[in-house]
Amino acid sequence: MSAAYSLRRRLLFWLLISTAIIGTLALADTYREAIQTSNIVSDRVLAGSALAIAERVVVAEDGTLEVDIPYVALEMLTSAAQDRVFYRVDGPPGEFITGYQNLPTLADTSGEVAGFADDIFRGEPIRVATLRRSASTGIRSVPFAVTVAETTIARRQLARAILLRSALRLLFMIAGAAVIVWISVTVALRPLYKLRDAIGERSPDDLHPIRQSVPTEVEPLVDTVNSFMVRLQSALDALRNFTGNASHQLRTPLAIIRTQLALSARSATLDEAHRSALKGDQAVAHAERILAQLLLMAKIDAATAKEALTATAIDLTPIAQEITGELIPTAAEAGIDLGFEGEGAAMIRAEPLLIGELLRNLTGNSIAYAGKGAEVTVRVCRNGETVALEVEDNGPGIPPEKLEAVRQRFSRGNDSGAPGAGLGLPIVEEIANLFNASLTLANGPDGKGLKASVTFAKLS
């Protein structure tokens, strides 16, 4: 038996795990976006500062470049007191004009747009912007480059702040979702708690279907439980029927056995004891027949669906012929002429052992009630799409008004005094129903005798 687990905790666990994974990916993407956004904003300031410096670069009278650094251009970069600002201005290739001579510069920039890159200066990470322009003397143009850089402390702090706020929002979202899931699962499980209470309050004998309202996802489980309860009720009913029938039917033969044993013990002569023992033995045989029929009836009651049987394609003719041959000695002992008619294959779908019990009960009834000197014929007939197994006798038969009654358990067709419990024909009919066959009872010609016919669908 597997260990029990909490559905609420399992749902909460998977929610937190999935949210944590998605949140981690979202935070990584948020951090990347924060870095990119802070770079875009700061790069615009760097480019503006470089442009302000470039506009102050002029050509002196001696043809060299001069620059008057506008400190307002550098003040634009000092919004964060902890950041440091660097700059340098270079003239034609190889000519340094002013600023921090060791400050890295970008060599592959061109045109009117500044280039940007990350670098290291004096052991600190910096963001570098280089703008290349030309100063005109009226005769020629002198190229120069303006490089502006600042440390990235403020940028990193901005990215961390954005990441922290996003993480806090995600944490609150996970906590809120956990609370919502906890409450939602509790509310959703209330019908199951009611179902548990409804089943727990039932008495052991109450196996009626559960009518409790449950969620759609649980309905198949309730249907399965209801189906099981129906099957359990059928099994219990079959058990009660068997025990009740056995108690009722075996009481008389057991009483006879005890009486005969008592008489045998008090017998004055050996002949009287012998007669008492013989009657007791007959009562034992009668009880044995009743018990065998009750057990067979219980087996049939358990096989309430064709799926419970091992039904296969069988040839009815050899089975009927073999069982008829087995019963000939019994019929001869009772003074009955037992015969068989039928030849050729007669294929049906059934279970061979139960079909054998069916024929034994039909033929046994005729042998028991037809009377000494009667004729009993077992016949296999093929009629179009059906196969019929018939047992016909020319005995006293059954009164027409009792033909339906004898289909009921423990009902007998006549008062001939022949031993029996009234289970033969009910057993035949219930076995026939298992294989979609039908039992027909009719009197013979001139109202004499009985013809019992079981009709099966022919197997093509």
In this predicted structure, what is the pLDDT of residue 308?
Answer: 45
In this predicted structure, what is the pLDDT of residue 147?
Answer: 92
**Mean pLDDT rounded to a whole number for the chain:** 79
Distances (CA, A) of 202 to 214, 222, 456: 18, 15, 44
Q: What is the DSSP letter of 202?
A: S
Confidence of residue 307 (pLDDT cuts 50, 70, 90): very low
What are the extents of the domains in the chain?
Answer: 7-160, 216-302, 307-457
pLDDT tens for 55-91 read 888 888 777 888 888 776 666 665 555 788 898 999 8
- Give 399's contacts (C-beta < 8 A, 6+ positions apart): 413, 414
Q: Which residue do the tokens 């197997």 mark?
A: 459
- Write down the CATH number for the domain with range 7-160: 3.30.450
In this predicted structure, what is the pLDDT of residue 181?
Answer: 79
Question: Which pTM was predicted?
Answer: 0.45
pLDDT tens for 259-299 read 777 777 777 787 777 777 777 776 676 666 666 666 666 66
In this predicted structure, what is the pLDDT of residue 252?
Answer: 59
pLDDT tens for 117-173 read 899 999 899 999 999 888 887 777 888 899 999 888 888 887 888 888 888 888 888
> Does 109 or 179 have the greater pLDDT score?
179
Q: Using CA atoms, how far apart are residues 155 and 162, in angstroms rounded to an integer?
A: 11
DSSP per-residue letters across 296-344: HHHHHHH--SGGGS--EEEEHHHHHHHHHHHHHHHHHHTT-EEEEE--S
- The CATH architecture assigned to 216-302 reads Orthogonal Bundle (1.10)
> Does 213 or 343 have the greater pLDDT score?
343
In this predicted structure, what is the pLDDT of residue 289?
Answer: 65
User: How do strand 124-136 and strand 312-315 relate by DSSP bridges?
Assistant: unpaired
Looking at domain 307-457, its CATH superfamily turns out to be Histidine kinase-like ATPase, C-terminal domain (3.30.565.10)
pLDDT tens for 362-419 read 888 888 888 888 899 999 998 888 999 999 998 888 777 777 766 665 555 455 444 5
Confidence of residue 12 (pLDDT cuts 50, 70, 90): confident
